[in-house]
Amino acid sequence: MPPAKIAPRDRLIVPLDLPDVASAEAMVARLGDSVTFYKIGYQLAYAGGLPMIGRLAGAGKRVFADLKLHDIGNTVARGVESVAKSGATFLTVHAYPQTMKAAVEGRAGSDLQLLAVTVLTSYDDSDLHAAGYRLGVSDLVEARARQARELGIDGLVCSPQEAAALRGIVGDGMHLVTPGIRPAGASTDDQKRIMTPARAIAAGADYLVVGRPVTGAADPKAAAEAIVAEIAQALGRQPG
């Protein structure tokens, strides 16, 4: 879907980073129609949560399978092939050329959209240098973005600080999905490259991943509605 046509409510992705399926299902029930898009990552996936992808999709929700695949080509391709049958809308893979190429092969013939993870939002330049990279965050993100575009990846997971620069590289043809979103006054938790929802949208982000400020709130539904309202205001539109 072209970025301009994405409804404000559909731009909020809430991670179900919860310890078990019962807790995740209870959170979905609490959030009700305030949230249309959920993310299932390692914690819930390894606690029996993968079948929730199909159940949520069957209930009219969209699901982001945040599995960050990275392995030899054949293993990635076959894994993507399996996820493509689950009902997921998005799947993450790490932005290494061989991995991205294999993932594109594995999703052939399906509606699954692939997101490449450039550099984790909990990393900064010193973390990359400690891991042996010569490039800093900005240069590595831009290099991986260009590779992803050339290989046919549908979108990028990036910090909101990189969104504006990446939009200039990939144009409107790729989704930009940004974790590290924190409403004004919220705790930064373990994120190092963060931004408010309004600023992230203004920078060119299409989808915002907002976890603990929603699921950890006293009233998760109200917290989600407030973020959707902020997104809508940034776009000059009704929440919808």
* CA geometry: angle 22, 26, 28, nearest 5 deg: 120
Q: Which two tokens stand for residue 138?
A: 């900005």
Cβ–Cβ under 8 Å, residues 119 and 137: yes
The residue from 68, 85, 192, 221 that is catalytic is 68
Q: Which two tokens stand for residue 86?
A: 């689950």
C-alpha distances out from residue 121 to 6, 67, 124, Å: 24, 16, 8
Q: For residue 216, how many C-alpha atoms fall within 13 Å in the half-sphere facing its CB? A: 9
List, as one string, the DSSP characters of 33-53. Answer: GG--EEEE-HHHIIIIITTHH
* CA geometry: angle 135, 137, 142, nearest 5 deg: 85
Examine the residue annotation and report whether 221 is marked as an active-site residue of this protein: no
How many Cβ atoms from other residues are within 10 Å of residue 83's Cβ?
Answer: 22
Please report which helix (H) or strand (E) contains residue 222, including its range: helix 220-235
Query: Hey, which residues are catalytic here?
Result: 68
